Amino acid sequence: MKRIKFFKLEASSNDFILLDNRKQNLNLDYKNFAKKYCARRIGVGADGLLIIEPSQVGIVKMRIFNPDGSEAEMCGNGSRCVGLWLKLEGGYRKKKNMRVETKVGIIEIAVSSSQEIKIKMIDPFDLKLDLPVKIFKRTVKVNYVNTGVPHAVIFVEGLEGINVEKIGRAIRFHKKFSPQGTNVDFVEFGGSNLIMVRTYERGVEGETLACGTGIVASAVVASLKLGIERKVKAKTKSGEVLEVHFKNERGKFSEVWLEGGANLVYKGEITLKGG
C-alpha cells in the first residue's frame, strides 16, 4: 500500500487538496486522482487539486486540476492557498514575496503575518464588452475577459434569486465561447466600490462559494462599466469580502492584485490501493 501525504486548504470557502511533488517522487495520474479524491462523498472532497512541482523560473510551479480531471491554467483562490502553504509547510516562512510559475506565467505572492495573502495576477486580456448571447430564447449582454482563465461577466439585479446552475451552464457551453468554454460570473452592484459575485465554474461544473479569477474578472468589468477606480471590494457567495487593486489606463489593466485570507484546514494521508 502506498501512502500519499496531502494538505487540505481553503480560501473564501473555495477548498483544495494540495500535494507536494517538489522531489518528483509522486507517480500519480493527476487527472484520475483529482476525479476520485475531489469527489465530496467518496473522496476527500474539494473544488480542485493543487500540485506543487519544481520550477526553473520561480520558487515552485503550481498546477491546478479540476474535479472533472481537466487541468486549469490558473486559480486565484488556489494561489492564495499555495502562498499560505509555502509559508507554513514549504520552508519559506521568512520570505516576503514569492514568485510562482503557472501555466499562464509567473505570479507573485505576498503573505502577511496575519495570513492575509496578496496575489499579483497576470494582466487581464481579451476584454470584450456587451457581447450578445442568446439563451433560452432571449438575448443577454455578456462581458468577457481572461484573467488567467476565461470569464463571462453578467450584471444582474436580485443576485440571490438568480439560477446560477441553469443560466451559468447554458453560457459556459455556449457556442460563442467554444471550444474551451468559459466560467460565468453573475455580478450585482452594491454601491460605492462594492460588488457581489456568484460564479459558475468550468471544470467544477457548478457554483462554488468563491472564485478568485472570477472576482478579478468581475472587478475589471465593474471598473469599466461602473466607473470604479483603483480598488474594488467583492463579496463572495461564502460571505467573505475580497479586495482587487489595479491600475486602469484607458481600459488597459495592470498591477492587478487579489487580496484575502486562506486557511490550512488539516493534513492527512491517503492510502492508494495497489501502491
- The catalytic residues are 75, 211
Nearest Cα to Cα of residue 48 among 163, 210, 166: 210
How far is residue 262's CA from residue 209's CA, in Å, rounded to a whole number? 14
Half-sphere exposure of 112 (CA within 13 A, CB side): 10
Relative to beta strand 105-111, strand 116-120 is antiparallel
How far is residue 216's CA from residue 125's CA, in Å, rounded to a whole number? 12
Residue 21 CB coordination number (10 Å): 18
How far is residue 42's CA from residue 67's CA, in Å, rounded to a whole number? 12
Nearest Cα to Cα of residue 238 among 265, 212, 219: 212
